[in-house]
Structure 1
């Protein structure tokens, strides 16, 4: 919902549209490591927006777009844990709080403060990442953890040895300046 409002605001503000970059092939993967089994999935269907003027970032991902090595894992993920039919999207909307000028080439360690919404549970988060600006491109990389309990994702006790309680998430988005 926040993402939709953000997109609408940007669309109607014609003076700012030249400052908005879009990455429609954003890659997000996650990894769950336990002694019994590692689980990983990847999606390249996330959409990300970056406002060069205000340093705002918004990302939205369809949950069902995550691809697993085994189809049974994907089925359990969507039906039992993420309830993808009920909660089809995850999103993040925030602002880069590290003072940087996104028009200058370089590599910057940054922090982004905002709202992470997973499983229809919104949590305020400060997420660390790296922004590289070079040759009319802006590349965002971030690695952070999400605790399942923070977003009311229930893991049956019988599966605690197979599914980690904290999931590592990696985000990669590439934007082209016009």
Structure 2
């Protein structure tokens, strides 16, 4: 488990956006424009960007203006985290999968992650970028990795330096 992401890409910007304001029809059109359809490339293809999760993109700095224009054209609110590979990482970018879990296990996992009622969850809101993408301080990496592995989650981990 605990695979590593490709470190050959040095500087990147992580875009966290919201498409919740779009109608269902607009959302379908948005994702077609984002990912492409019927052989027509989407903006991810033309900018060599990576779709991490439903609301998270990894973008090369020289393509950031085009991605920002795209998100603004769709009236999506977004924020950006600037990261780079480093020998002195400050954070870990973690992608994990829960597809192996049945519905009951997934509900228990969500309660463990987010909390329920008065009980606190394992992760802090600011550490969660999307349902399956985390951005955590490097000092918490071992603890979070152990937690996710205890749930048999497949992991992709990249240790990065955040410029924020």
Query: TM-score, normalised to structure 1's length?
Result: 0.24
More strand by proportion, 1 or 2?
1
Pick 1 or 2: higher relative contact order, CA cutoff 8 A, min separation 6: 2
More helix by proportion, 1 or 2?
2
Query: TM-score, normalised to structure 2's length?
Result: 0.26
